[in-house]
Amino acid sequence: MPLSEEKIKELIKEAIPDASIEIKDLMGDNNHYSAVIKSKLFNNLNKIEQHKLVYKSLKGKMGNELHALSIVTEGK
């Protein structure tokens, strides 16, 4: 089942409370998104660790219910 934009934001916020998140539904199908996520938690992490933090916040949905979420992460 596809995941709504709001649900994605909610999951990320749960794990990364200070995150500012911009999400685009690329195809209007609730299945292909791109997101820019900024958080202080990213400040001392490398890109791989930053993306892992986001994937972990999605609790295993990435690659399953959520087919495609391309992400750009930045510190704050």
Partner 1 sequence: MEIKDKINSLIKENRICLFMKGTPDAPQCGFSMAISNVLKHLNVNFKGINVLDDENLRQGIKDFSDWPTIPQLYIDREFVGGCDIVKEMFEKGELKTLLKNKNLI
Q: Is 37 helix (H, G, I), strand (E, B) or coil?
A: strand
Stretch that binds partner 1, among 8-16, 17-25, 37-45, 55-63 (CB under 8 A): 55-63
Judged by CB under 8 A, which of 22, 68, 75, 76 binds partner 1? 68
* Cross-strand partners of 23: 35
- Determine how many CB atoms are found less than 10 A away from the CB of residue 13: 15
Instruction: Output 13 or 36, the one with its CB closest to partner 1.
Output: 36
Residues engaged in binding partner 1 (CB under 8 A):
47-48, 51-52, 55, 60, 62-63, 68, 70-72
